[in-house]
Amino acid sequence: MPLRWGDLDAYNHVNNTAMLKLLEEARVRAFWRPKPGRTPRTPRS
């Protein structure tokens, strides 16, 4: 997962809440499957 500017704090560290969001987004991208007959695309906000 690429880091976004908003994921970093003033010291260029990823804080714990941002890390959990990144892990959740990676999990969704890894395990999400489209329904039969639908075009495969990953959900993004």
Domain spans of the chain, in order of start: 1-38
Tens of pLDDT along 1-45? 788 898 898 999 998 989 999 999 899 888 887 777 777 665 555
For 7, 9, 38, the CA distances from 28, given in Å and listed in that order, are 18, 24, 17
The whole-angstrom separation of Cα 21 and Cα 28 is 11
Q: What is the pLDDT of residue 13?
A: 92
Q: What is the pLDDT of residue 33?
A: 75
Q: What is the pLDDT of residue 24?
A: 92
User: What is the reported pTM?
Assistant: 0.62
